[in-house]
Amino acid sequence: MIEIIPAIDLIDGKCVRLSQGDYNQKKVYNENPLEVARMFADAGIRRLHLVDLDGAKAHHIVNYRVLEQIASKTPLIVDFGGGLKSDDDLRIAFESGAAMVTGGSIAVKNKEVFVSWIEKYGPDKIILGADVKDEMIAVSGWTETTGLELMPFVSTFMQKGISKVICTDISKDGMLQGPAIGLYKKMLKSEPQMYLIASGGVSSIKDIDDLNEAGIPAVITGKAIYEGNIKLSDFKNYL
């Protein structure tokens, strides 16, 4: 059964969504992220993907106070990402209540630091963020495409102990045009042990059903909920 993980993206402490990672295509959905998180918890959801978009831009943690509020005032298991670049950022994230953290750009730009986090905190607490454009890894809030191919990149870190991988197909993100199911199937065929968390493009509960049918372990969904395309009650079969 696929795990449902709603997303809250933060800019200026508010709940927002971008389209294809473009900061100029920003829509504010709620001034109070805690209110949104409580709504998810009340619906029976257990996990939350919290993204510090200010942090991603600033290259250090910014919205840790919001993390602290959500972690202390809801029962949600929060994974936190966006701008985590140093041991200090990680310390702040965990002290603020994150159960897990996601590292994307850092795994590309400073592999040694990322590997040291896996060794220090264990693979249960560290998630690899693999953001892709045409199956090539993209970093820095998706402003930069690297020369790294997706699967060799993921496999490198699985050899270091990583099991959880969030893969976002940038071309799909925030577009409500369906997820990259073909890509995800390919990834699982290559690394069957991976706890793959699909992200980007979910437009309806049918997309979730299709991902579940394809054997994808987990899915992050944001905009489809905020735009009303998916009601929280639609998740009842998965909770």
β-bridge partners, 218: 3, 197
CA distance readout (Å), 106 to 84, 110, 143 = 7, 5, 14
Known catalytic membership, residue 209: no
Catalytic residue among 9, 79, 169, 207: 9
Which tokens belong to 26? 């920003």
Burial 57-94 (b: 16+ CB within 10 A, else e): bebbbbbbebbbbbbeebebebbbbbbbbeeebbebbb
Catalytic residue among 52, 79, 89, 131: 131
Known catalytic membership, residue 9: yes
d(CA 135, CA 190): 14
Nearest Cα residue to 131 out of 146, 116, 118, 117: 146
Residue 5 contacts residue 219 (beta carbons within 8 Å): yes
| Phi, psi of 84, deg, nearest 5 | -75, 110
The set of catalytic residues is 9, 131
